[in-house]
Structure 1
Amino acid sequence: MSESTPGGNAADAFASRARTEHGESIRELVVFGDAVRGDDRGVHASMEVLLVLEEDDEEIERRLEALAETVGLEHGVVFSVHVLPADRFESQSDHPFIRTALEEGHSYV
């Protein structure tokens, strides 16, 4: 992912702000999807974010989803945020969705 692309800037901005506001709660933050792979074809950039929180916390989850929406609007990117508590992430680490995110994505945490 190039930092000069809208997707790169959006991912960096989201990750930076998420770490600043909720860093102590985030175990993993991985951005993946067509904009990260470079197959968005310049039509509609979308990114998926896998966020693993130390504990299941609906309030932090809502705040991170709102942050993704805000950053997405600022950068013209649509974020889809997938939040898992750490225990569920660990017990389902072989799930195809999680494997894809970790293999194709860019890890910020």
Structure 2
Amino acid sequence: MSDDAPAGDAAATFAARAQDDHDEAIRDLVVFGDAARGDDRGVHASVEVLLVLEEADPERERRLEALAETVGAEHGVVFEVHVLPAERVEANADHPFIRTALEKGKSYV
């Protein structure tokens, strides 16, 4: 990761572009893990994202994953995007992955 493109900026860039193109379909966009805590240390930086869509949409999911790859390449980080429909998140709200991401992550939407 370059010094002029921190993971936080990559997350904000991804969130802004995702909202520009898919705002009506996104219920939550949360960045969690090292990047959200500021622990990336500039080594093998990754940005973990939980993206909750109002409803399942495989084509939209592919477009959002492609956007994450593009933004990651621009900022020198790797995005790990977990796209889930809202009903699945609600049905599994107590799952440690979902609970931790939503409670400890930084919400952009």
TM-score (norm 1): 0.92
Aligned residue number for residue 62 of structure 2: 62
Which whole-Å CA distance do the structure 1 matches of 2:84 and 2:10 have between them? 22
Aligned residue number for residue 78 of structure 1: 78
Matches within 5 A, 1:1-109: 6-109=6-109
Whether the aligned pair in 1 keeps the contact of 2:26 and 2:52 (CA below 8 Å) is yes
CA RMSD for the aligned pairs?
A: 1.2
Whether the aligned pair in 1 keeps the contact of 2:7 and 2:40 (CA below 8 Å) is no
Give the C-alpha shift of residue 5 in structure 1.
6.0
TM-score (norm 2): 0.92
Give the C-alpha shift of residue 38 in structure 1.
2.1
Q: How many residues align?
A: 106
Cα shift readout 1:40-84 (whole Å, capped 9, x = no counterpart): 222111011101101100000000000000000000110000011
What stretches of structure 2 of length at least 5 have no aligned partner? none
Task: Point out 4+ residue stretches in structure 1 off by more than 3 angstroms.
Answer: none
Counterpart AA for 2:7: G
